[in-house]
Amino acid sequence: MGLRVRQFGQIGHKVVNVETVNVETPVLSCPDPNFKLLIYPFEHHLELSKHRSSIAHYQKMQAIASQTRVAPVGVAQRTVNVNKASAFMGAPVGHRSLGIAKPLAKSQQQVSGRSLSMQVYAVKDGTSLDRPLRVAVIGGGPSGACAAETLAQGGVEAFLIERKMDNCKPCGGAIPICMVEEFDLPMEIIDRRVTKMKMISPSNVEVDVGKTLNDKEWIGMCRREVFDDYLRNRAKGFGASLINGLFLRMDKNGDGPITIHYNNYEDGSKVGVPTTLEVDMVIGADGANSRVAKEIDAGEADYAIAFQERIRISDDKMEYYKDLAEMYVGDDVSPDFYGWVFPKYDHVAVGTGTVVNKTAIKQYQQATRDRAKVKTEGGTIIRVEAHPIPEHPRPKRFEGRVALVGDAAGYVTKCSGEGIYFAAKSGRMCAEAIVEGSAKGTKMTGEASIRNYLDKWDKKYWLTYKVLDILQKVFYRSNPAREAFVELCSSTYVQKMTFDSYLYKTVVPGNPIDDAKLLVETVGGLLRSNALRTGKGVEVSFASTRET
Ligand SMILES: Cc1cc2nc3c(=O)[nH]c(=O)nc-3n(C[C@H](O)[C@H](O)[C@H](O)COP(=O)(O)OP(=O)(O)OC[C@H]3O[C@@H](n4cnc5c(N)ncnc54)[C@H](O)[C@@H]3O)c2cc1C
């Protein structure tokens, strides 16, 4: 009795693909822990195929088959078409290789005029594994590093693939204080504590915000090259495999294992060595230009282009900015965002962003520099950087066993342009759902865990994104509206509410009387500034509902 089947699987990082095999034993599994043989002949009179691909393949499979053992009970089974060589043998252990058990129609079972069928055991979600669940995390920024750390801590085998280990992500580097405690960040990676903030209106009216902060409250300023490096190495310390490589593409072999193709730079090569890796799940944490998102056709979402210059200024000028951040609003600095001066380690970062008129970004940058000129003049530009900032969650944030997190998913908030905390948090939440769904890496899991992460995410943050979207549309729409916005920021109540929700990422219940006063002040301010009579009507939208 013989049976032609296709074999693929993995030994270490090497993918084995054997086309032809003679299977003699009814229910088999491979002794190699990286393999599981999940096939047995349904009919006992099958003949050995005439189309064996090569003697070498045949012998290799014979060698594996001779050491086989009985597969564990409790796996799902499905009838498949032998002719299409779609019977998988040796998929990575415990892999959900063929999904839901469903027999094919009789007509689909014709092989060379004969009806052949066999049953393939597919490991369903929830089936116990005899090796840990394997997850590749693409991108080692805050989202990827935090995902890999949580996976590794939770018993999952995590591979963190980062193309550039000393990457200096163009970023203001501002983080809320709650992140320090929540992500257990050491103070060494935080260069400065901002306790004062100035909102500066189109007519240069300055309002000091931050008056409500107590002496334990501040906004952290960090250098991303330091910050990301710390998080990546911490993930490694918890057992994640940190790989210096450029992700290229992936093959999603039906419901079988996902093959990651990447260029490995580990040996110091600049070009990289083409390498493959087979995993059960993939987390795309590769930023706004995500290749993983493209691989799953996640769709495009609006993005802003942000431009930033790092300027080294004299010590006395730096003294002014040592604990102060400035935000400039006005048509001159951006039609739909704000310009900023943020203090960094030994210099300031001056930047701006826009969605609606990207080609004019340099003109807006010049205007931001001009507005801050007195305080930064004489400085030397030490770095110029530009990068997209996603404006919306992508239309689709997952497909099957591939999920997106951080900028790859589109999780930057409108109005403030904040993304570091949300990146780290989404990476962690996605990983937590996988750890939970896989019972700490001991069981197969996939889409259900990803849906669990997305449900929790949307429940927790949908309102935050929505409110900031509305604020941006109302207050950044014209110079009169911006004047009203800055005026509003002088309210102690507004400052408290804003800082509390930024610093602690919780929606703090307000005082109903103050809320009513705030509403009156807002409408009054907008009317005084003639804000509502200019520009287009307010259109507010959130993520598309097209997600599967
Ligand atoms: C100018 C500017 C200023 C900003 N200022 C702030 C701020 O002050 N505060 C704030 O909270 N947010 C800020 N943001 C937003 C913030 O930078 C992002 O939201 C945050 O970095 C997202 O983290 P992430 O891990 O999702 O993606 P990223 O930080 O973009 O990390 C993605 C990682 O993936 C790697 N990668 C990409 N492609 C591949 C590949 N093919 N293979 C392997 N690796 C790959 C990259 O090298 C990178 O390390 C700013 C953004 C910009 C552009």
DSSP string, 5-21: -EEEEEETTEEEEE---
* pLDDT of 304 strictly over 60: yes
At residue 474 the predicted structure's pLDDT band, cuts being 50, 70 and 90, is: confident
The one-letter amino acid at 360: A
Q: What is the mean pLDDT of residues 460-472?
A: 83
Torsion 448-449-454-460 (CA) sign: positive
How many structural domains is the chain composed of?
2
User: In this structure, is residue 30 part of a structural domain?
Assistant: yes
Q: Is the dihedral of CA 141, 144, 148, 154 positive or negative?
A: positive
pLDDT at residue 116 in the model: 29
pLDDT at 395: 94
The rounded percent of the chain whose pLDDT value lies above 90 is: 55
Residue from 203, 253, 227 nearest 85 by CA: 253
**pLDDT surpassing 70 at residue 510:** no
Query: Distance (Å, rounded) from C-alpha 37 to C-alpha 432?
Result: 30
Q: Cα 78 from chain centroid?
A: 34
247 lines ligand 1 (CB under 6 A): yes
Res 165: pLDDT: 96
pLDDT for res 383? 94
In this structure, is residue 42 part of a structural domain?
Answer: yes
The reply to whether 117 falls in a domain is yes
Could you tell me the pLDDT band of residue 47, with boundaries at 50, 70 and 90?
A: very low
Which residue, among 62, 98, 56, has the nearest Cα to 81 in the 3D structure?
98
What distance in Å separates the CA atoms of residue 293 and residue 287, rounded to the nearest whole number? 9
CB half-sphere exposure, 145, CA atoms < 13 A: 25
Q: Please tell me the predicted confidence (pLDDT) of residue 281.
A: 96
Letter for the amino acid at 418?
E
Whether residue 320 is contained in a domain is answered as no
- Nearest CA owner, ligand 1 atom 9: 174
The answer to whether residue 526 sits within a structural domain is: yes
Q: Is the pLDDT of residue 359 over 90?
A: yes
* Domain residue limits at 52: 6-122
Write down the pLDDT at residue 10.
33
Q: Quick check: CB of 349 below 6 Å from ligand 1?
A: no
Q: Which pLDDT belongs to residue 89?
A: 31
For position 481, what pLDDT does the model report?
87
**pLDDT reading at 475 higher than 60:** yes
422, 428, 429, 433: CA torsion to nearest 10: 160
Say what the pLDDT of residue 508 is: 56
Mean pLDDT (the chain, rounded): 76
Look at residue 168 in the predicted model and tell me its pLDDT.
Answer: 93
CB neighbours of 300 closer than 8 A, spacing ≥ 6? 394, 395
412 close to ligand 1 (CB < 6 Angstrom): yes
Would residue 319 count as lying in a domain? no
CA of 424 to the centre of ligand 1 (A): 10
Q: Region 427-433: what's the mean pLDDT?
A: 98
Locate the ligand 1 atom nearest the alpha carbon of residue 351 and give its number: 1
Distance from Cα 447 to the centre of ligand 1, integer Å: 25
Confidence at residue 509, expressed as pLDDT on a 0 to 100 scale: 54
pLDDT single digits (tens) 114-126? 332 333 334 678 8
Q: Are 398 and 444 in contact (CB under 8 A)?
A: no
- pLDDT at residue 34 tops 60: no
Tell me which of 244-248, 344-348, 354-358, 487-491 is least confident.
487-491
Per-residue confidence band for 493, with pLDDT thresholds at 50, 70 and 90: confident
Q: Which of 122, 144, 159 is the last residue of a domain?
A: 122
Which is more confident, 359 or 301? Answer: 359
Contact 518, 491 (CB under 8 A): yes
Comparing CA positions, the residue from 179, 300, 172, 159 lying closest to residue 224 is 172
DSSP 372: T
Q: Report which ligand 1 atom has the smallest distance to the Cα of 420.
A: 11
User: Residue 123 Cα, ligand 1 centroid: separation in angstroms?
Assistant: 36
Q: Which two tokens stand for residue 35?
A: 């393999």
pLDDT score for 58: 41
**What is the average per-residue pLDDT within 324-331?**
95
Residue 22 neighbours by CB under 8 Å, 6+ apart: 2, 3, 48, 58, 61, 62, 65
CA–centroid distance for 329 within its chain: 30
Distance 365 CA to ligand 1 centre (A): 20
Q: Is pLDDT above 80 for 534?
A: no
Tell me if 311 is assigned to some domain.
no
Beta strand 281-284 pairing with 134-138 = parallel
Cβ of 406 closer than 6 Å to ligand 1, yes or no, is: yes
Q: What is the rounded average pLDDT of the residues 454-481?
A: 86
> Ligand 1, atom 19: nearest CA belongs to which residue?
419
- pLDDT of 519 reads 60
- The domain boundary, picked from 79, 94, 122, lies at 122
Residue that is last in its domain, among 93, 122, 151:
122
At residue 464, the pLDDT reads 82
Distance in angstroms (rounded) separating the CA atoms of residues 17 and 276:
13
Q: Report yes or no: 407 and 288 within 8 Å, Cβ to Cβ.
A: yes
The encoded tokens of residue 548 equal 């599967």
Do the domain assignments include residue 49? yes
87-101, 391-405, 532-546 — most confident range: 391-405
CA 259 to ligand 1 centroid distance, Å: 25
pLDDT digits (tens, 9 = 90+) for 131-189: 999 999 999 999 999 999 999 999 999 999 999 999 999 999 999 999 999 999 999 99
Whole-number pLDDT of residue 329: 95
Among 53-57, 76-80, 541-545, whose mean pLDDT is lowest? 76-80
Question: Ligand 1 pocket test: which of 137, 143, 168, 171 has the largest number of ligand atoms within 8 Å of its C-beta?
Answer: 171
The pLDDT value recorded for residue 28 is 35
Enter the tokens of residue 278.
Answer: 């087979």
341 DSSP β-pair partners: 326, 350
The whole-number pLDDT of residue 146 equals 98
pLDDT confidence tier of residue 507, bands split at 50, 70 and 90: low
Count of positions (residues) in the chain: 548
Mean pLDDT, residues 427-444 taken together: 97
For residue 529 and ligand 1, the question of a CB distance below 6 A is answered with no
161 Cβ below 6 A of ligand 1: yes
